[in-house]
Amino acid sequence: MDSTIKRKFSVREIREDFPALRQTIYGKNLIYFDNGATSQKPQYVLDAINQYYSKDNANIHRGVHHLSQKATSEYEASRKFIAAYLNAKSSDEIIFTKGTTDGINLVASSFGHLLNAGEEILISAMEHHSNIVPWQMLCERKGCVLKVIPINKKGEIIQDEYEKLLSSKTKLVAVTHISNSLGTINPIKEMIQKAHVVGAKVLIDGAQSIQHDKIDVKDLDCDFFVFSGHKVFGPTGIGVLYGKEALLDRMPPYQGGGDMILKVTFDKTTYNELPYKFEAGTPHIAGGICLGKALEYLNQFDIESIKKHETELADYAQDLLLTFEDMNIIGESKKKTSVVSFIVDGIHPFDMGTLLDKQGIAVRTGHHCTQPLMDFYKIPGTVRASFAFYNTKEEIDTFIAAVEKSIGMLK
Amino acid sequence: MTLEEKQKEIVEDFAIYDDWMEKYEYIIELGRDLPIIEEEKKTKDRIIEGCQSQVWLDSSFADGKMHFKADSDAIITKGIIGLLIRVLDDEKPEDIAKCDLHFIQEIGLHEHLSPTRSNGLASMVKKMKMSALKALTTNDSEQKA
Ligand SMILES: Cc1ncc(COP(=O)(O)O)c(C=O)c1O
């Protein structure tokens, strides 16, 4: 796809690209507002998956035959494309992983190997469990200390507290770019600058940002950036860890196996160079190729028009929700992405979610894998509507009517 | 009424609803009617943690029959609990331990009892059956003694 001339942003036409959106659930047209959990896939990606398995399937990096070379070159072309998309210095900085969780675990294990007892890791109070638990495990293993940057009621990281926590003991700051539960967009560029002042490295959890904004790792100057393919219109089981080359070079391999070695003898094994050092075993080849296709698909559009449309959707939904009595929006930062998390006094999110489902509306309910955050707000969970660029105001109207009906039944 | 007859009766009750929302309206009503478990009995050992909603279950055994009281923080969960209690309460432990709760499937609510649903209901049924089994074994040994 040529990305220099941007495709006109037409929601109606975009919807045509996503076959999963054209279905009925319990006899109602599906309204898919669970994009924060995973996104639907465009035909462009589906065709690429089909093409790979029906024509190009072969193992990579090891065959002299035609198909193996073709698969290898497509896989590596995808890596190159992703590197360019993120504005990485080189494609050696792009490690294919299983997803965000896998990327964070890789860093916790491998970068974690370089840490010493007493050194500190900072995370924020709004992190997803996958950006909490790997660090807790690392701290247990190495005697490092995990510190939590507090947030305010609006759902924003308290920057003063962050600055106070930073010290020469801080070795890593791991924060989410966008909160999956609240929608808050964190000021990561400034946070990265502050961390670098004390010499700490920064990992950005981009699971919720890659699909909503342009990511430029050079401009951000982050040390690591992780995301999942499935949340950005690509396949499940594939993701990316971006890491600065010098840093990745210093880190020991994560897993051992084929592909990650240069030479193996029973006495000593030498490891392959980047990025292969971190990619042991046969990778998710179709996933790697098709994640590139997903980003290519997204790259046809001007990201600003996507952002504008998504912001309009979220503002529209939030304004309408606030007309209901006893409605609480959880996450009230001025800087938010297209996530609206809410709870109605006296109504359990599970009940609301169940009734919305029966009206054909897919939302997420519960703690969204951010239990400490729910504890902070003293709520069992929220109902979360998360929008993608293929959603419409008409869908929100239907959603609001369904919320109204549900409240009527549950109050 | 036998346990089997009670299941049949519920299936008949639900047969009049052909719309999901009506079905849920009825379940919510059942949830509201459920005699709730006393606050002081909502203790840690009676809690069944689900990922989505919480359930409290109090089981007792008297005069050869099992008795259940339960509650949930979610009203739909509570309504389904109401149905389960209607079927299983005041029944002999041996009947409870071996019963097949097929009515849930027949009224289309089996998704709520699937172990992946994580609302605590699947664990609740398991716990009800386990306490019935426990009553059975203590009952046996008491009779033998
Ligand atoms: C902010 C955030 N971090 C991490 C993850 C984990 O992503 P995955 O399950 O794809 O590894 C998610 C997804 O739910 C997320 O929203």
- Tens of pLDDT along chain A (411 residues) come to 666 789 999 999 999 999 999 999 999 999 999 999 999 999 999 999 999 999 999 999 877 899 999 999 999 999 999 999 999 999 999 999 999 999 999 999 999 999 999 999 999 999 999 999 999 999 999 999 999 999 999 999 999 999 999 999 999 999 999 999 999 999 999 999 999 999 999 999 999 999 999 999 999 999 999 999 999 999 999 999 999 999 999 999 999 988 888 889 898 889 999 999 999 999 999 999 999 999 999 999 999 999 999 999 999 999 999 999 999 999 999 999 999 999 999 999 999 999 999 999 999 998 889 999 999 999 989 999 999 999 999 999 999 999 999 999 998
C-alpha A130 to ligand 1 mean position (Å): 7
* Confidence (pLDDT) at B145: 47
Round to whole Å and give the CA distance between B7 and B16: 15
CA angle B129, B135, B138 (to 5 degrees): 145
pLDDT category at B43 given cuts 50, 70, 90 is confident
Positive or negative: CA dihedral B44, B48, B49, B55: negative
- Delimit the CATH 3.90.1150.10 region(s) of chain A: 11-32+302-410
- A172: which strand partners? A121, A201
CA distances from B11 to B87, B108, B124 (A): 12, 10, 21
Q: Which CATH number fits domain A11-32+302-410: 3.90.950.10, 3.90.1150.10, 3.40.50.980, 2.60.120.10?
A: 3.90.1150.10
Round to whole Å and give the CA distance between A317 and A393: 8
CB contact under 8 A, A348 and B74: yes
Q: Which chain A residues are closer than 8 Å to B55 by Cβ?
A: none
pLDDT category at B18 given cuts 50, 70, 90 is confident
- What average pLDDT does range B18-44 have in this prediction? 87
- Delimit the CATH 3.40.640.10 region(s) of chain A: 47-298
As its CATH architecture, domain B3-135 has Alpha-Beta Complex (3.90)
Q: pLDDT tens-digit profile of B94-139?
A: 999 999 999 998 998 888 777 666 667 888 888 899 999 999 887 6
State the burial class of residue B94 (Cβ atoms within 10 Å of its Cβ: 0-12, 13-18, 19+): middle
Residues of chain A whose C-beta is under 8 A from some C-beta in B? 26, 348-351, 353-355, 358-359, 365-367, 380-381, 405, 409-410
CB contact under 8 A, A350 and B77: yes
Cβ neighbours, 10 Å, residue A63: 14
* Confidence (pLDDT) at A4: 76
* Confidence (pLDDT) at B51: 66
* Confidence (pLDDT) at B138: 79
Give start and end residues of each alpha helix (H) in A130-232.
133-142, 159-165, 188-197, 217-220
CA A394 from chain centre, in angstroms, equals 27
* Confidence (pLDDT) at B142: 58
Read off the pTM.
Answer: 0.93
Q: Do A116 and A145 touch, CB atoms closer than 8 A?
A: no
Tokens of A216: 């430029």
* Confidence (pLDDT) at A2: 64
Round to whole Å and give the CA distance between A346 and A410: 9
In ligand 1, the atom with minimum distance to the C-alpha of A179 is 1
As its CATH architecture, domain A47-298 has 3-Layer(aba) Sandwich (3.40)
Domain range list for chain B: 3-135
Q: Do A59 and A68 touch, CB atoms closer than 8 A?
A: yes
* Confidence (pLDDT) at A196: 98
